[in-house]
């Protein structure tokens, strides 16, 4: 959306919001006062600041794919606010459970992510199969090497975007913090992109 489409109230409140967010980032890094200092709180806040990162909170639960149980919603909100998720053991914030694959946690989260995107593509008018079929990129019409090991989670043809070309999708979920609670790189880049996206509705 262009800047001229917003009134002065939007621009005034947006400037105040960015100022308060910068103060919150600085406070989360204390006692380190460097602007580029890394901290778990900053990584979490920058992840929450990404455009459309809160869209899941405004989704109408019209289907099973868009519905959260009370426990799932409470867990998601606690992770977003930096509150403890579990109350026993050495990992109260659940960083290890989010990033390791013990008990195939990552596989389960990956499957949920695929189901959610299937719903998005179906509502957008794409031709989505009843069940997900993974395929290798070398087995599509795109020319490639015989030993290419790149895998596609989903292929969506007949979507009314980019002249109807099929979308080749590989879904990845990456928490802002590692299993030991340390920050991951790229937070500054996300922050820079989010500033340039200030005109998004």
- pLDDT for 195 equals 35
Residues 6 or more apart whose Cβ sits within 8 Å of residue 12: none
CA distances from 1 to 7, 58, 130, 172, 174 (A): 12, 20, 35, 28, 28
Whole-number pLDDT of residue 4: 58
Place of tokens 């050495």: 90
Mean pLDDT by 10 residues, the chain (201 residues): 70 87 85 80 80 80 82 86 82 77 72 81 79 75 81 81 79 75 59 35 31
Question: How much is the pLDDT for 187?
Answer: 46
Crossing angle for the helix pair 40-49 and 8-28, to the nearest 10 degrees = 160
pTM of the model: 0.58
- Tell me the C-alpha distance between 62 and 68, whole Å: 11
Q: Which residues contact 118 (CB under 8 A, 6 or more apart)?
A: 65, 128, 132, 154
Cα angle 31, 32, 37; round to 5 = 145
The CA–CA distances, whole Å, from 149 to 104, 152, 157, 177 equal 22, 10, 22, 28
- Residue identified by tokens 């006062």 is 33
What length is written for the chain?
201
Main-chain dihedrals φ then ψ at residue 151, nearest 5 degrees = -115, 145
């Amino acid at each position: 959306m262009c800047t001229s489409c917003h009134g002065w109230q939007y621009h005034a409140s947006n400037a105040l919001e960015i100022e308060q967010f910068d103060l919150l980032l600085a406070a989360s890094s204390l006692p380190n006062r460097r602007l580029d200092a890394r901290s778990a709180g900053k990584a979490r806040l920058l992840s929450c600041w990404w455009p459309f990162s809160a869209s899941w909170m405004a989704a109408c639960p019209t289907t099973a794919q868009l519905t959260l149980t009370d426990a799932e919603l409470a867990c998601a909100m606690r992770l977003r606010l930096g509150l403890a998720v579990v109350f026993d053991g050495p990992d109260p914030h659940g960083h290890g459970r989010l990033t390791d694959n013990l008990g195939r946690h990552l596989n389960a989260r990956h499957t949920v992510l695929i189901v959610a995107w299937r719903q998005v593509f179906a509502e957008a008018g794409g031709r989505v199969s009843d069940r997900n079929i993974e395929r290798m990129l070398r087995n599509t019409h795109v020319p490639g090497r015989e030993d290419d090991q790149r895998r596609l989670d989903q292929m969506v043809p007949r979507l009314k975007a980019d002249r109807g070309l099929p979308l080749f999708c590989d879904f990845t979920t990456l928490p802002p913090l590692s299993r030991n609670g340390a920050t991951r790189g790229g937070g500054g880049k996300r922050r820079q992109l989010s500033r340039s996206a200030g005109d998004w509705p």
